[in-house]
Structure 1
Amino acid sequence: MLLIVALDAQRLWCCEEGRVVASYPVSTAARGAGQRRGSLQTPLGWHRIRAKIGAGAPLGAVFVGRRPTGEIWTPELAAAHPGRDWILTRILWLCGEEPGFNRLGEVDTMRRYIYIHGAPDTVPMGVPGSHGCIRMRNADVAELFDRVPVGTKVRIVARAQEAAESLASASE
């Protein structure tokens, strides 16, 4: 199992045995790619899913600090909390695999709290807009959550061409 995210395509591909078995639109960082803490950018490179949070939660369940609040996202709730970065439904917490690039120190993906997570239906997919995380539709992230185990490798690339290269090397 391998997940590939391409920033230029704003797409996540779920791959098994060298072939794409699912494809989802995503929204990555509005500020593009970057590794550093505080950059509000999506980190590149090899990662793995370190933790899965939210099993069994309803679609639209609100998480703060990786804990469910008991709330379900609605436009009214959003209006009561303007400017909140909504983390909904499920969380796949990423951990960098490349020391000095996306792991340890000021570039540590896990310490940056970079997730694949659900977002409100009002958030557009297919265009950059997050604070660094990889946002998905709630139904899509719930489906992906059920499909992938902890430890699944995730490669985040700038260009879709690199995604094709990752897939080719995974099938060898």
Structure 2
Amino acid sequence: MSSDLLQPITHKLDSLEIKQTARILHVSIAKQRMRGFQNGRLWREFVVSTGKKPPSCVENSFGTPTGLHRIAEKHGGSSKLGAVLRSRIDSGELYWELPEEEQEKNLVTTRILWLEGLEPGHNQGGDRDTYNRYVYIHGTNHEDRIGEPASGGCVLLRNREMIELFDFAEIGDLVLIEL
């Protein structure tokens, strides 16, 4: 079964002549799901939230970018559950301790996996650059919205699951985001 699930990923890798990594994440925007694979086998499936706006790789579109990416950086590895990360740095705040008006925002919490597009002209370079758009996989203070489009373009997970994913994933792992 895992090989069937991996088929869209292996097809994309072959078309771009990119070697498969031991760990791969596959995000389905339509299903609001992310599957993690290790050595060709399904490791875990997560319910996620992607962008409220239509999927897009264009800067300032606030849509989740599609295509093949890699994890470029990891941030927040020693942060507490619910920690607020500002500019990828632990602020020392926990989201539930913030004023109500601050909690209304979609905050970056717990951990960050910063994505870099691997498809020149699609999600890499110019005004279509995932990395320069600061698109992350990260925790959220609005866990009740997980499973429906709710972000400004990032992929959101529940905070405990974000820690689990962060511990599983490595810099350089591939991430395919599809409609």
What TM-score, normalized to structure 2?
A: 0.84
Change (3 A) 1:83 1:73: closer
Shift of 1:68: 1.1
Shift of 1:81: 1.6
Could you tell me which of 85, 89, 113 is aligned with 1:67?
A: 89
Could you tell me which of 24, 32, 35 is aligned with 2:57?
A: 35
* CA RMSD, 1 decimal: 1.2
Is 1:125–2:146 an aligned residue pair? Answer: yes
Match for residue 95 of structure 1? 116
Return structure 1 stretches of 4+ with deviation > 4 angstroms.
Answer: none
Q: Distance in 2 between matches of 1:122 and 1:12?
A: 16
Could you tell me which of 39, 43, 46 is aligned with 1:24?
A: 46
| Contact 1:93/1:116 (<8 A) preserved | yes
Q: Distance in 1 between matches of 2:60 and 2:118?
A: 19
Q: How many pairs were matched up? A: 157
Match for residue 15 of structure 1? 37
Q: Distance in 2 between matches of 1:89 and 1:36?
A: 27
What amino acid is aligned across from residue 52 of structure 1 in structure 2?
Answer: K
Deviations 1:9-66 (A, max 9, x none): 1011000122211011100001121010000000000000000000111100001111
| Contact 1:32/1:128 (<8 A) preserved | no
Match for residue 157 of structure 2? 136
Deviations 1:85-142 (A, max 9, x none): 3000000000000011000100000000000000015441110010000000000010
Match for residue 14 of structure 2? none
- Percent sequence identity over matched residues? 39
Match for residue 127 of structure 2? 106
Change (3 A) 1:82 1:136: closer
> Larger relative CO (CA 8 A, sep 6+): 1 or 2?
1
What amino acid is aligned across from residue 153 of structure 2 in structure 1?
Answer: G
Change (3 A) 1:122 1:18: closer
